[in-house]
Structure 1
Amino acid sequence: MIAAGVGGTFAYKGIADDDAQNVAATTPDQPAGSPAPTSSGPAVAPQRFTKVAAKSGGTLNKATVEGRRSGVTADVWVWLPPGYDAPANRGRTYPVLVTQSSLPGVESNSFVDDSVSFLPKLAAAIETGTVPPYIVVAPELMPYPKQDVDAGLTAAKDTECSDVPNKPKMATFHNEDVREAVAATYRTAVDRASWALIGDGSGGLCAVKYALQYPQYYAAAVSLSGRTALKSPLWNADPQAKAANDPVRLLDGRPDVRILLSGHTGTTGSEFAAKAKAPTQVKTVAGAGGASSDITRQLSEALTFLGRNTKNPAA
């Protein structure tokens, strides 16, 4: 499995004003988990990820992935947990945590840069056994050219992690192309019970949406200060497509996923959670706003939630 194609470039840093809201509650149950269906298409050779840095006891690598299904080209960072390359672990497979960060997200991902101190906190949680030793997958969020970011045009071009008609197919890129690229290159678990999502700001919207839209791939998701409503102007030309991607409407499918909303009230939090019907579970906890320091404070509870709702294939 892997990826190829053409497209733009994109990524993430911090949280924009548009992305402010908050974290977590937990459920003690382990998700059931069923085998994730493999994507159709020819198998491909592993991607050429290159080492960026040693971080938090693990290794941060990077590749530019060309999406053969989406036609999108963007950077993807992968953090390998401590011990991944140890000879004793060569036959071991690892759970995966996909991170989606906030707007504008060009040429970085806040979960693997130093914006919210995520990797140090994750490494500490792995050390204490709070979470399994995740492989972290951190794709760029959107195919923005840098000049659009500098001109403040990112909100106007936000696909909200969807395949908006006649726009970059970001849902296909993140959930098919990136998944294939990572699975072809690293020793990832194949069952959906071992895959989870976390996002902040606009990335929080993406994490929730993807868990509901692709439950064959993910068992759990955490939104740190993210919305649950679509509002990009790109939807104005196709309200039918917007309805098909609306997280509230996706709840109607009742996928077997666990979702944690951070710091939300009203429509985004309690009302959204109330609409969830079994086996979907949505927890929400009020909290501070969406500044990076607030996100950092939310991580402890978020990681506890993920640890309780993600399977460790080596356990």
Structure 2
Amino acid sequence: MSLTGTPFLVTAIALLAGAVVLPLALWARVRGPAVARGLVRLLMLVFAQVTAITVVFVAVNNANGLYDSWEDLLGTTDRAGAAVDLGPDGTGGQKLAGRPREAARFGPVDDARMGPGVRVTELRGRISGVTGEVYVWLPPQYDDPAYRDKKFPVVQLLPGYPGSAKAWFGSLEVNRQLAPLMKQGKVKPFILVSPRTTLLGDGTDTGCANIPGKANADTWLSVDVRTMVSDTFRASDRAADWAVGGYSAGAHCAAKLAVAHPDRYRAGVSLSGFNDPSGEPAALTAATAELRRANNPYLMLKAANKAGKPPRTALFVSGAAGDGYEAGTALKGVAQAPTTVRVVRQAGPHGTSVWKQQVPEVFRWLSEQLGK
């Protein structure tokens, strides 16, 4: 039975109901020696506690998109591949220009919570070696004959840690929120792409970085997924038409990828993120001082400025005090043209209910940034 969705939740609720009724019906009827009676009653209480915890976990997991499957929860599948050293640009010297197009085969999703129009493929990253699912949603205008020659801008969406690639479509309802705004012309018709970011069998957060021998997560996101989308759909391959956004640990990734790759992304959106990778202690990038420095977008911006090469990228950073706001103000404090940073102070908890409310504002801002 699937970890997510209604069937498992209903089963867990039914077991909880039975676990509550069982001791009420049998407590006084238990027979035998005192030790045996005590053990039976203890088992009934433990069963009730376990089922109650299970119901809460399933409800929270379904609401926040933390784990997609039993494999993700138990950490039984490694998707990172050999993770060879791909060099500073993350391509391993492989030329992308002039190669044959490689369209991926997509099918419909089997999760009604993701709303209409979402499709999925299992992608084997040609350069990164990563294997994972990628979800794509096409805007209302995509099949309109008036747009048959149009190449669409793309926004790549990243979840937090732990996090499911389904969460932006499920918990945040990004497609259901944006479809009417796109039809009304209030938001550009973006292609939305959400790739898997949990890649390691032990469940460790990759920090969206390339770490030889561990995972080439940066290349998976910024090269392989990006190339596949441009090959498969009428999607622009210009950096000026691509953005990357995320929440929590995914927000850190989005800011870092946008700063690191202005040749691949024109904008980055960080919702309740952080700069120092130690903000996510489970991340591989928090393991050493060198990795922390190399994957801190604040320090990356400072280094680019010092080298006289501030990236041409626009950042949208939002968060509450102590939860992303300070990271945004720090980025804005060191930004030099053509880098721009918009900081929004957000009230509310660190959760999908807050990020969901920000979707329209974020995509109106992205509509102003892309295509230039």
Q: TM-score range by the shorter chain?
A: 0.7 to 0.9
Any conservation in 1 of the 2:269–2:316 contact (CA below 8 Å)?
Answer: yes
Equivalent position SS for 1:129: coil
Q: How far apart, in 1, do the equivalents of 2:286 and 2:240 lie?
A: 36
1:305 aligns with 2:365: yes
Could you tell me which residue of structure 1 aligns to residue 36 of structure 2? none
Could you tell me which residue of structure 2 aligns to residue 206 of structure 1? 253
1 or 2 for the larger relative contact order (CA 8 Å, sep ≥6)? 1
1:256 aligns with 2:316: no
Name which of 160, 176, 180 aligns with 2:223: 176
Any conservation in 2 of the 1:201–1:225 contact (CA below 8 Å)?
Answer: yes
**Cα distance 1:127–1:283, how it changes in 2: closer, same or farther (>3 A)?**
same
Q: How far apart, in 1, do the equivalents of 2:262 and 2:336 lie?
A: 15
Shift of 1:41: 7.7
Any conservation in 2 of the 1:13–1:109 contact (CA below 8 Å)?
Answer: no
1:48 aligns with 2:105: yes
Could you tell me which residue of structure 1 aligns to residue 185 of structure 2? 129
The superposition leaves residues 6-26 of structure 1 with CA deviations (integer Å, 9 ceiling, x where unpaired) of xxxxxx97377xxxxxxxxxx
1:93 aligns with 2:143: no
Could you tell me which residue of structure 1 aligns to residue 49 of structure 2? none
Could you tell me which residue of structure 1 aligns to residue 142 of structure 2? 84
Any conservation in 2 of the 1:14–1:102 contact (CA below 8 Å)?
Answer: no
Q: How far apart, in 2, do the equivalents of 1:60 and 1:51 lie?
A: 6
Structure ID, larger Rg = 2
- Structure 1 segments, 4+ long, off by >6 Å, are 53-58
1:240 aligns with 2:300: no
1:275 aligns with 2:339: no
Any conservation in 2 of the 1:74–1:139 contact (CA below 8 Å)?
Answer: yes
Equivalent position SS for 2:140: coil
The superposition leaves residues 248-278 of structure 1 with CA deviations (integer Å, 9 ceiling, x where unpaired) of 1211322011101112446412223212222
**Cα distance 1:228–1:13, how it changes in 2: closer, same or farther (>3 A)?**
farther
**Cα distance 1:57–1:143, how it changes in 2: closer, same or farther (>3 A)?**
closer
Name which of 215, 218, 221 aligns with 2:268: 221
Equivalent position SS for 1:211: helix
Where in structure 1 are there 5+ consecutive unaligned residues?
Answer: 1-11, 17-37, 149-153
- Alignment-mate amino acid for residue 338 of structure 2: P
- Alignment-mate amino acid for residue 365 of structure 2: F
The superposition leaves residues 204-261 of structure 1 with CA deviations (integer Å, 9 ceiling, x where unpaired) of 1111111101111111111111222212452465533432222112113220111011
Any conservation in 1 of the 2:276–2:292 contact (CA below 8 Å)?
Answer: no
Q: How far apart, in 1, do the equivalents of 2:220 and 2:236 lie?
A: 19
Q: How far apart, in 2, do the equivalents of 1:235 and 1:174 lie?
A: 16
Shift of 1:280: 0.9
**Cα distance 1:15–1:58, how it changes in 2: closer, same or farther (>3 A)?**
closer
Aligned pairs for 1:46-195 (under 5 A) are 46-52=103-109, 59-106=117-164, 108-112=165-169, 114-145=170-201, 148=202, 154=203, 157-195=204-242
Which structure carries more helix by proportion?
Answer: 2
Any conservation in 2 of the 1:13–1:101 contact (CA below 8 Å)?
Answer: no
Could you tell me which residue of structure 2 aligns to residue 34 of structure 1? none
Q: How far apart, in 1, do the equivalents of 2:115 and 2:286 lie?
A: 46
Give the alignment's Cα RMSD to 1 decimal: 2.6
Q: How far apart, in 2, do the equivalents of 1:263 and 1:236 lie?
A: 21
Q: How far apart, in 1, do the equivalents of 2:369 and 2:291 lie?
A: 31
Could you tell me which residue of structure 2 aligns to residue 285 of structure 1? 344
- Alignment-mate amino acid for residue 209 of structure 2: S
- Alignment-mate amino acid for residue 137 of structure 1: V
Q: How far apart, in 1, do the equivalents of 2:268 and 2:285 lie?
A: 24
